[in-house]
């Protein structure tokens, strides 16, 4: 179960990085450039936040697969 | 008895409401395409969904048994079975909503052709929204009726929560927070209750904000063809809906990061099984453990525990973020 969830987490994190990249490039693209900062800011900031927040998730999932075990 | 009858009446009204809306949608009396038809179906069934959710919440609160069960191996029940089911259903609905909402938003931003018919994307969005509304209102009704506040902060505990949070966070961030709040970080942090200070002070309030905002703005958007809504209001409502959607996507990421950490894996398994090992509670939730030890155990489940699974743990404690 732990491995399944770790893989789901990694896949979800990678997908979010890709979606964040698409948001970011759309935000700085020609179409939104004409529409002003208020419509540009959400995809740019949201895309950056998605990419940044995906990194700790992927890191935790990798650790979930690799670190030593402890019983409670 | 009365509560069961009420639940049956609520379920029957929900089915009737869905059926009438569906029959009108399928009759061809209105010249609506799939997208507009689905929008009307969603908006018209909302009162029935909300009514059923309130009754379901009442039924759950009325059937609730107080106390905490212990298993023969010492494991402690952290979540009720119905909580596990509602959490899983809400999680699936939320992921479907974020995926379909993100798809709609990206299609507009990129101005690209989509390989999936957008009517289908919106249909999944409306169905998932109905499910999320029912689960959210059910839980809100249940918690309000029972006065359940384990995930919240009681009045007068805010500074205590900030102190606990600053000790739970990684040292640089926690100390920065403590410095900004004017705390003496030499003092030990308060003992953790059933939920960590991060869950109570940061995670749960953010969930409330994001889910509340997305439901209210989504309902206003869905009502626009039934009730006239001024263009400016609709514009800002749509902007807030997108913002709440992005916040929810970030929240899903953060929630998964939190529970998929090796040191908190027992919290993750507790969300599936309902049980958490006694040793973990004693070590990472000492205030909750102390309270449980002083209370009489409601009942002990003597069924054998599931096969012991190795638990991986990192250097950080259960409360670290």
Distance between CA atoms of residues B286 and B298, nearest Å:
20
Q: Which of A1, A9, A71 is opposite residue B256, by nearest beta carbon?
A: A9
Separation in Å, CA of A12 to nearest CA in chain B: 8
The number of CA neighbours under 13 Å toward the Cβ of B183 is 23
Contact B130, B215 (CB under 8 A): no
Residue B45: strand, helix, or coil: helix
Q: Which residues of B touch A64 (CB under 8 A)?
A: 260-262, 265, 312
Asked if A21 is an interface residue toward chain B (Cβ–Cβ < 8 A), one would say no
Instruction: Say yes or no for a CB contact (<8 Å) between A23 and B109.
Output: yes
The number of CA neighbours under 13 Å toward the Cβ of B195 is 19
> Which distant-in-sequence residues (6+ apart) come within 8 Å of B249 by Cβ?
A16, A19, A46, A50, B98, B102
Alpha-carbon distance values, B9 to B12, B41, B46, B258, B259 (Å): 5, 21, 16, 40, 38
Tokens of B269: 């398994």
Q: Which of B268, B310, B314 is opposite residue A5, by nearest beta carbon?
A: B268
Q: Which residues of A touch B246 (CB under 8 A)?
A: 42, 46, 49-50
- CB count within 10 Å of CB B165 equals 25
Each of the 321 residues of chain B gets a pLDDT tens digit; together they read 788 888 898 899 989 988 888 888 778 777 788 888 888 889 989 999 999 999 999 999 998 887 788 888 888 999 999 999 999 999 999 999 999 999 988 888 888 888 888 889 999 999 999 999 999 999 999 999 998 888 888 777 888 888 999 999 988 999 999 999 888 888 888 999 999 999 999 999 999 999 999 999 999 999 888 888 898 899 899 989 988 999 999 999 999 999 998 889 999 999 999 999 999 999 999 999 998 888 766 666 656 555 544 444 333 333 333
Instruction: Give the DSSP letter of residue B309.
Output: -
Instruction: Give the DSSP letter of residue B70.
Output: E
Q: How high is the pLDDT of residue B299?
A: 62
Strands B275-276 and B300-301: unpaired
DSSP run (H or E) holding B71: strand B70-71
Q: Which of B256, B280, B311 is opposite residue A12, by nearest beta carbon?
A: B256
Q: Which residues of A touch B262 (CB under 8 A)?
A: 60, 63-64, 67
- Paired with A69 in beta bridges are B312
- Angle, vertex CA B81, rays to CA B80 and CA B83, nearest 5: 65
Distance between CA atoms of residues B24 and B19, nearest Å:
9
**What number is the ipTM of this complex?**
0.90
Instruction: Say yes or no for a CB contact (<8 Å) between B106 and A26.
Output: yes
Q: How high is the pLDDT of residue B213?
A: 95
A17 has a pLDDT exceeding 60: yes
Alpha-carbon distance values, B171 to B67, B174, B256, B280 (Å): 35, 5, 21, 22
A53 has a pLDDT exceeding 90: yes
Q: How high is the pLDDT of residue B311?
A: 43
B215-221 LR contacts (CB < 8 Å, sep 24+): B215/B129, B215/B132, B215/B133, B215/B136, B217/B241, B217/B244, B218/B129, B219/B46, B219/B133
**Residue B113: burial class (beta carbons within 10 Å; 0-12, 13-18, 19+):** exposed
> Which distant-in-sequence residues (6+ apart) come within 8 Å of B253 by Cβ?
A12, A13, A16, A50, A53, A54, A57
Instruction: Say yes or no for a CB contact (<8 Å) between A69 and B310.
Output: yes
The number of CA neighbours under 13 Å toward the Cβ of B175 is 3
Distance between CA atoms of residues A4 and B274, nearest Å:
19
DSSP run (H or E) holding B271: helix B265-273
Instruction: Say yes or no for a CB contact (<8 Å) between B312 and A2.
Output: yes
DSSP run (H or E) holding B276: strand B275-276
Instruction: Say yes or no for a CB contact (<8 Å) between B313 and A2.
Output: no
Instruction: Say yes or no for a CB contact (<8 Å) between B253 and A16.
Output: yes
Distance between CA atoms of residues B31 and A31, nearest Å:
33
**pTM for the whole structure:** 0.86
**Residue B180: burial class (beta carbons within 10 Å; 0-12, 13-18, 19+):** exposed
Instruction: Say yes or no for a CB contact (<8 Å) between A63 and B261.
Output: yes
Size of interface A-B (CB pairs under 8 A): 94
Q: Which residues of B touch A54 (CB under 8 A)?
A: 253
Instruction: Say yes or no for a CB contact (<8 Å) between B280 and A72.
Output: yes
Q: Which of A18, A44, A60, A68 to mutate to test the interface with B (most CBs of B within 10 A)?
A: A60
Instruction: Say yes or no for a CB contact (<8 Å) between B250 and A49.
Output: yes
Asked if A54 is an interface residue toward chain B (Cβ–Cβ < 8 A), one would say yes
Q: Which DSSP string corresponds to B146-178?
A: HT--TTS--TT-HHHHHHHHHHHS-HHHHHHHH
Residue B118: strand, helix, or coil: helix
Q: Which residues of B touch A12 (CB under 8 A)?
A: 252-253, 256
Asked if A44 is an interface residue toward chain B (Cβ–Cβ < 8 A), one would say no
Separation in Å, CA of A67 to nearest CA in chain B: 6
Separation in Å, CA of B248 to nearest CA in chain A: 11
């Amino acid at each position: 179960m732990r491995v399944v969830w770790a893989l789901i987490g990694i896949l979800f994190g990678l997908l979010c990085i890709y979606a964040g990249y698409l948001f970011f490039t759309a935000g700085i693209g020609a179409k939104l450039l004409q529409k002003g900062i208020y419509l540009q800011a959400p995809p740019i900031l949201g895309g950056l936040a998605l990419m940044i927040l995906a990194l700790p998730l992927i890191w935790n999932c990798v650790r979930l697969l690799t670190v030593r075990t402890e019983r409670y | 008895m009365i509560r069961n009858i009420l639940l049956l009446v609520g379920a029957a009204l929900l089915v009737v409401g869905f059926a009438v809306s569906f029959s009108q949608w399928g009759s061809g009396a209105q010249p609506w395409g799939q997208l507009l038809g689905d929008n009307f179906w969603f908006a018209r069934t909302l009162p029935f969904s909300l009514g059923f959710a309130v009754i379901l919440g009442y039924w759950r609160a009325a059937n609730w048994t107080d106390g905490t069960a212990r298993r023969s191996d010492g494991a402690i029940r952290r979540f009720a079975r119905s909580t596990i089911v509602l959490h899983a259903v809400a999680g699936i609905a939320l992921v479907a909503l974020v995926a379909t909402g993100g798809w709609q938003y990206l299609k507009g931003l990129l101005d690209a052709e989509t390989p999936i018919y957008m009517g289908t994307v919106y249909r999944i969005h409306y169905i998932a929204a109905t499910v999320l509304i029912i689960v959210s209102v059910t839980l809100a009704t249940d918690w309000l009726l029972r006065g359940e506040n384990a995930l919240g902060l009681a009045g007068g505990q805010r500074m205590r929560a900030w102190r606990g949070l600053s000790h739970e966070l990684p040292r640089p961030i926690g100390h920065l927070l403590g410095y900004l709040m004017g705390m003496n970080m030499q003092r030990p942090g308060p003992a953790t209750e059933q939920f960590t200070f991060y869950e109570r002070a940061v995670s749960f309030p953010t969930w409330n904000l994001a889910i509340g905002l997305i439901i209210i703005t989504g309902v206003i958007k869905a009502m626009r063809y039934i009730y006239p809504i001024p263009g400016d209001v609709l514009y800002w409502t749509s902007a807030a809906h997108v913002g709440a959607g992005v916040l929810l996507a970030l929240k899903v990421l953060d929630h998964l990061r939190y529970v998929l950490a090796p040191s908190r894996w027992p919290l993750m398994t507790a969300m599936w099984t309902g049980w958490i090992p006694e040793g973990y509670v004693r070590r990472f939730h000492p205030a909750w453990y102390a309270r449980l030890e002083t209370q009489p155990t409601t009942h002990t489940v003597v069924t054998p525990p599931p096969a012991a699974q190795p638990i991986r743990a990192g250097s950080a404690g259960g409360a670290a973020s």
